[in-house]
Amino acid sequence: MAATDEMVCFALYAATRATTQAYRALLEPWGLTYPQYLVLVTLWLDGDQTVSSLGDRLQLDSGTLSPLLRRMESSDLIVRERRSSDERVVSIGLTPHSRRLREELREIPRQIAEGFALPDRTSAEDLIRTLHAISSSMHEVAAAGAPQPSPVRTSAPRSEGDRS
């Protein structure tokens, strides 16, 4: 057994990649990417969002989210509008096209859930709670940062002739 097979982080990484690949295959007929699908699901369930709140909700930074939203807007999936009360705030909303997609894509979560081979008595809800707990814990680890290395002596020891 390889060392990575015994690492929780690798098991999560492998599961994430496999899940993303499954979504990619299921969403391909609609020309959607998994991140685009997540944006749509958030808007379907929570309504219009600001770019900032959408980024927080999906844990995406603006450097990732802005190009994603531009592509979605050019594909008639979302509308972006500056708020008249504050021009710096951009609201994201659904288009008639993306509202219709909700019905067409409604079976995707069930298809994904059926693909999970969960141990007996483990529900998808249990798995989701566990993964959210892991995510929260890892955010705390990341916020704490790595331990600082001890200072390394960079100057060479003085020779007897060096009296400066």
- Report the chain's mean pLDDT, rounded to a whole number: 86
pLDDT tens-digit readout, 118-129: 777 777 788 888
CATH code 1.10.10.10 region(s) in the chain: 31-105
CA-wise closest residue to 68 among 81, 78, 56: 78
**Tokens read off for 126:** 């249990």
Instruction: Enter the CATH code of domain 31-105.
Output: 1.10.10.10
**Tokens read off for 60:** 């995406």
Q: What is the pLDDT of residue 162?
A: 54
Q: What is the pLDDT of residue 90?
A: 87
Give 89's contacts (C-beta < 8 A, 6+ positions apart).
Answer: 50, 51, 52, 82, 83
pTM of the model: 0.77
- Among left, alpha and beta (phi > 0; psi -120 to 50; other), residue 95 is beta
Q: What sign does the dihedral 35-39-45-49 (CA atoms) show?
A: positive
Average pLDDT over residues 66-78: 96
| Low-confidence winner among 4-13, 34-43, 142-151, 154-163 (lowest mean pLDDT) | 154-163
Q: What is the pLDDT of residue 143?
A: 84
